[in-house]
Amino acid sequence: MTDGHELDSLTLTGLEVFANHGVFDFERSEGQRFVIDVTLWLDTAGAAGSDDLAQTVHYGELAVAITEAASTDPVDLIETLAERIAGVVLANDPVQRVRVVVHKPDAPITVPFADVSISITRSRSVPIA
């Protein structure tokens, strides 16, 4: 909480990227689709009161930063990818907490399935005085 009120949340749902993440060689060489949902918690009262974009997070620019981070530098695990995305979001000063969900709908699973995903929640580190 900040200034006696709850944090607000902003959600980006269904950001799609094509990337080469995965443990298997064919995932690295052929690539596949990943879908990302991000919820960030921040205090938007100042932005709402002033109608000033500089006092909040520009979600269009954030969406680009997330998809750029997710589409480069292949990793084995979606857990690692989710952690990277959380870092990108938390680099925005107003953001206090973030939830990242990385979906891998085309994962190499041998039984019928709709989706596989990882969900992580991270908070801004508070420096110890």
Question: Could you write out the DSSP letters of every residue in 30-67?
Answer: H-EEEEEEEEEEE--HHHHHHT-GGGS--HHHHHHHHH
Is-catalytic flag, 8?
Answer: no
- Give the separation between CA 41 and CA 74, rounded to whole angstroms: 28
Residues 6+ apart with CB under 8 A from 15: 35, 36, 37, 38, 63, 66, 67, 70
What is Dmax (Cα atoms) for the chain?
53
* Catalytic residue selected from 1, 14, 104, 114: 104
Which residues are the active-site residues? 104
